[in-house]
Structures are given as C-alpha cells and as structure tokens.
Amino acid sequence: MPSILQSIDHINIVVKNLEAVKRFFIALGFEIKDQSRLHGKWISDTVGLENVDAEYAKFTLPGDSTSLELIQFKNPPATSIPHPGRANTQGLRHLALQVADIERAVTFLKEKGIEPVSAIQEYAPARKKLVYFKGPEDILLELAQYGDPEA
C-alpha cells in the first residue's frame, strides 16, 4: 500500500531565546525564509493552548526543502525538561545534518567556538562518519558524512 505521506515538511524546536538561537543557525549557513508573530484564536486552537503569543522563524539550508522552525512562546511560557541536551532524554533528541566533508565541517564549527562532544566516530554498517555538537539551549546537532555505498 503506498504511503499517504509525501515528505518531511519541517522540524520545530521550541526555544527560550529566539534571537540567540537564530544567530547560531544563521552562522551554520541556514537562511531565514519566514518569521512572524503567532497569536490569536487560530494558533491557540491549532496547538491546544490558551492565549498563545509566540515569535517564530523558519529556516532552510540552500537547496533543501525540509525546513527548521524555531518558536519562542511568550505566552504560555515554554516548559523546561530536565537534561534536554543528553542523548538519552525522551523525545526528539537531535537534528542530524548531512555534510560532504565532516573534517571540514568540524573545523568550520570549531572556528565559530562550537566544540564537538567527542572526536569523529565511524559507524561501519552505514559507511557513516558522525559527530555530535551542542548548540544554544542544549540543542544537540549531529553531523553525518556517508561513504560510497558501492565501495
């Protein structure tokens, strides 16, 4: 049976300081596609919260159709979870970004003062090199480089 789903449209991350997190993703090469204030009955009904007032920004990487949406709730305020930056915390844990040259990408991030959680690791079954970084507000990022599947 064919799927009724077509593609991933966007990934949403709720943040406490939208401006700081926006600067971080812009520094990584993301481009802002939309930003606005979200308020009124339509958004309150959509998310199932009363009196929503929020700021939102939508980003994409050049040439990519999946977007990243950041939202800062001013009302009701965001609810914190303990240990959001730990890989074993329940829920959405990290955003994985595919790169062509992981060593170059790591150098790029280090030059911006963003240090990896560990050295680059290899996952042989997927012919994949990967490394985790922590962004603002403990957002975990994974960089992934895939080798030639035919090699």
Whether 10-75 shares its CATH topology with 94-146 is answered: yes
3-state secondary structure of 26: helix
What pLDDT shows up at residue 85? 79
Determine how many CB atoms are found less than 10 A away from the CB of residue 143.
21
pLDDT for 148: 67
**In the chain, where are the structural domains located?**
10-75, 94-146
CATH architecture of 94-146: Roll (3.10)
Tens of pLDDT, residue by residue, the chain (151 residues) = 677 677 888 999 999 999 999 999 999 999 999 999 999 999 999 889 999 999 999 999 999 999 999 999 999 998 888 887 788 877 777 899 999 999 999 999 999 889 999 999 999 888 999 999 998 998 889 999 998 655 5
Predicted pLDDT of residue 140: 87
**Calpha distance 49→37 (Å, rounded):** 16
SS3 136: helix
**94-98 and 67-75 strand pairing:** unpaired
Q: What is the pLDDT of residue 147?
A: 87
Q: Tell the CATH topology of 10-75.
A: 2,3-Dihydroxybiphenyl 1,2-Dioxygenase; domain 1 (3.10.180)
